Amino acid sequence: MNRWHSKSLGDGMWAPIARIEIEEIFQPLFNAANQPVEMAVFMREEAGRLHCEWIAYFSPAAQSVAEALGANPCGKPAKAGLSLLAGGEDCWSALFAEEGV
């Protein structure tokens, strides 16, 4: 359970719909697990083939959420440019301690 996952949320028009779906799946699982600090979903706008797209990154502790959404395994994302989509604010120091808070 130490693998990150990612999923394209589409461009700026479609990303808000995907964000809501992620939050609706994430929150009950997060609460049932007693809100672990390592469980989080981040997002970042990245260059795509034709236009920019939003990518969601699921921490290893959010694997069940990632699997429910059909996300693919990936490497750990760099902290730069990420924003927190779901999880507690204290996840930053727990998941990116080596990159500074």
The pLDDT value recorded for residue 17 is: 79
Q: Parse the chain into domains and list their residue ranges.
A: 4-99
Q: Please give the Cα distance from 5 to 49 (Å, whole number).
A: 20
Q: Please give the Cα distance from 94 to 27 (Å, whole number).
A: 19
Would you write out the chain's pLDDT as a tens digit for each of its 101 residues? 589 999 988 776 667 778 889 999 999 999 999 999 999 999 998 876 656 788 999 999 999 999 999 999 999 999 999 999 999 999 999 999 877 55
Angstrom distances, CA of residue 49 to CA of 7, 42, 46, 53, 78: 15, 21, 10, 9, 20
The pLDDT value recorded for residue 19 is: 87
The pLDDT value recorded for residue 83 is: 94
The pLDDT value recorded for residue 52 is: 79
